[in-house]
């Protein structure tokens, strides 16, 4: 039973389109994240939600809009896709925003290619 | 200067070799130090976790933290082909998991 699952795994789309990625975790965690990993493998945090409340919003274009309908789900919607948005987007979760174990549980990633 | 620097490699060694992976960092506020392993087309998974300075051993893996030098290491003994992956160091401030900063990752290949 997958702990953090995200769909779709692959997206190929044209510039200017809008796309969404969905994420669900069954670990009972309070905090969920979106990370972006570029072609050089840099993994950078984009957003974090704790119990449906946005707690981290890094310097991300406002074309990216996260939504957390409940603490087990975190979706990412991207408007007006650009070539530079091509990357692997990882959803992750952790036990509590104040947890200090540093253990993030990642999904398998959604590979977005913008043509 | 990046907060966390990690040599991206690639690093290729024969099976059975001792592997040393390293990261340096610039922010002295980091207190939590982690190594994540990422297999191809998969998400990262936590491999080792250390709080503050010192060593931690888990089977064939040893993590070392030297806060005075702002330098962390991961050693893999008796390396196996199944250890072939990208290894990412990550560091956190006392505020917790959401402040993790990752290194670029070192791609490691263990040749049979």
Q: Is the pLDDT of residue A96 over 70?
A: no
Beta bridge partners of B92: B32
- Confidence at A107, pLDDT banded by 50, 70, 90: very high
Residue A94: list chain B partners with CB under 8 A. 97-98
Strands (E), A1-115: 4-7, 10-13, 19-25, 31-37, 43-50, 53-57, 64-70, 73-78, 87-94, 105-106, 110-114
CA distance B79 to chain A (A): 23
**Residue pointed to by tokens 């493998």:** A41
CA distance A103 to chain B (A): 6
The pLDDT score that the predictor gives to residue B95 is: 66
pLDDT tens sequence across B52-84: 888 999 999 999 999 999 999 999 999 999 999
pLDDT tens sequence across B24-58: 999 998 988 999 999 999 999 999 988 888 899 99
Q: Is B105 on the interface with A (CB under 8 A)?
A: yes
**Residue pointed to by tokens 């933290």:** B65
pLDDT tens sequence across A59-68: 789 999 999 9
Q: How far apart are CA B108 and CA B13, in angstroms?
A: 8
- Confidence at A99, pLDDT banded by 50, 70, 90: very low
Residue B88: list chain A partners with CB under 8 A. 41, 43
CA distance A94 to chain B (A): 7
Q: Cα A86–A30–A8 angle (5° rounding)?
A: 30
- Confidence at B6, pLDDT banded by 50, 70, 90: very high
Q: How far apart are CA A114 and CA A101, in angstroms?
A: 35
**Nearest beta carbon to residue A100 from set B44, B86, B96:** B96
Q: Is the pLDDT of residue B97 over 70?
A: no
The pLDDT score that the predictor gives to residue A60 is: 87
**Residue pointed to by tokens 């570029």:** A38
Collect all residues with Cβ–Cβ distance below 8 Å to A62 and sequence separation of at least 6.
Answer: none
**Residue pointed to by tokens 């972006």:** A36
pLDDT tens sequence across A19-38: 999 999 999 998 999 999 99
Q: Is B50 on the interface with A (CB under 8 A)?
A: no
Cross-chain residue pair A108–B42, CB shorter than 8 Å: yes
**The dihedral sign for the CA sequence B41, B106, B29, A101:** positive
């Amino acid at each position: 039973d997958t702990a953090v699952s995200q769909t779709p795994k692959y997206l190929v789309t044209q510039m200017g389109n809008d796309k969404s990625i969905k994420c669900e975790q069954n670990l009972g965690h309070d905090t969920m994240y979106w990370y972006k990993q570029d072609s050089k493998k840099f993994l950078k945090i984009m957003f974090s939600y704790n119990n449906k409340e946005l707690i981290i919003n890094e310097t991300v274009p406002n074309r990216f809009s996260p939504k957390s309908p409940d603490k087990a789900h975190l979706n990412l919607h991207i408007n007006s896709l650009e070539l530079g948005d091509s990357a692997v987007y990882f959803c992750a979760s952790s036990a509590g925003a104040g947890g200090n174990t540093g253990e993030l549980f990642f999904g398998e990633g959604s590979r977005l290619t913008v043509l | 200067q990046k907060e966390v620097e990690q040599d991206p490699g690639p690093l290729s060694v024969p099976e059975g070799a001792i592997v040393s992976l390293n990261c340096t960092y610039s922010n002295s506020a980091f207190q939590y130090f982690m190594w994540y392993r990422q297999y191809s087309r998969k998400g990262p998974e936590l491999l080792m976790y250390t709080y503050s300075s010192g060593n931690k051993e888990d089977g064939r893996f040893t993590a070392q933290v030297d806060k005075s030098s702002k330098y962390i290491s991961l050693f893999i003994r008796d390396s196996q082909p199944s250890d072939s992956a990208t290894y990412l160091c990550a560091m956190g401030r006392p505020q917790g998991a959401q402040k993790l900063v990752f290194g670029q990752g070192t791609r490691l290949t263990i040749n049979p």
